Amino acid sequence: METQVVELLRRQRIATMQALCVALDASHMTVVRAMKKHGYYSSVNRNASFYALRDTPQFDAQGLWLYRDVCFSRHGTLARTLVALVENAPAGLTVAEIEPQVNTRVGNLLSRLCRHGELSRCFGGRQAIYLAAKAERQEQQRRCREEQRAAHTTTPVAANTTSPEAKSVNVYLRLKSLMPSFSARRRSSSLRKTRRVCNCPPTQRSAAAAKTPSGAPPCPI
């Protein structure tokens, strides 16, 4: 039965305890005993409910392996993983930088690790930056974080700098583009103020037009 547990878990790569027990019709203790003999990892997310044989994960440089949405760590538990990630980060890490790596929420656990003295933290604005517990490494990370922040804030200013010559050319082109509209407005204003001569028809023509077909003027009513 123990051989069957190992073979099934190797085929599926990861599985929950319940899935293994149901698939093999084996007890919980039988599955645990088989995995212990071979060696295994439990996931650091999904409530540590997934298991993988020790030779299955393909860990990256941070010691993490993400299979589908399940994360495994070379460091074992989530707490040890967070300590390792923070200590190895040149500028420390924020919650927003850690959570995508392990695919789970870590804010409460990080705060607990700080209370127990396994990590430290400082604040950059509204963000908490988690640092190593050792003072020397902590100071290195703090300086690196400050350099990153300074570089991030000064770069946009340099990119938006415009020379005085370029500014004067821009102003000239902008004024030149507005001149036709100003002249059109002046012409329109002058036309509105000019009185037009009204050419009324001559009185003789009006009288001739008022005659009846017989040639006599109409009788007043």
Q: Does residue 104 fall inside a structural domain?
A: yes
Could you read off the pLDDT of 12-41 as tens digits, one per residue? 999 999 999 999 999 999 999 999 999 999
86 and 121 together in one domain:
yes
Residue 99, Cα to own-chain centre: how many angstroms?
14
CATH number, residue 4? 1.10.10.10
Compute φ and ψ for 128, nearest 5 degrees. Answer: -90, 130
Domain that holds residue 46: 1-57
Amino acid identity at 78: L
d(CA 124, CA 221): 99
Amino acid identity at 214: S
Residues 17, 20, 25, 26: what is their CA dihedral angle, to the nearest 10 degrees? Answer: -60
53 and 85 together in one domain:
no
Contact by Cβ (8 Å): 78, 109: yes
Domain count, the chain: 2
SS3 105: coil
Contact by Cβ (8 Å): 102, 78: yes
Could you read off the pLDDT of 107-164 as tens digits, one per residue? 999 999 999 999 999 998 889 999 999 999 999 999 999 998 888 876 554 445 555 6
Q: Does residue 195 fall inside a structural domain?
A: no
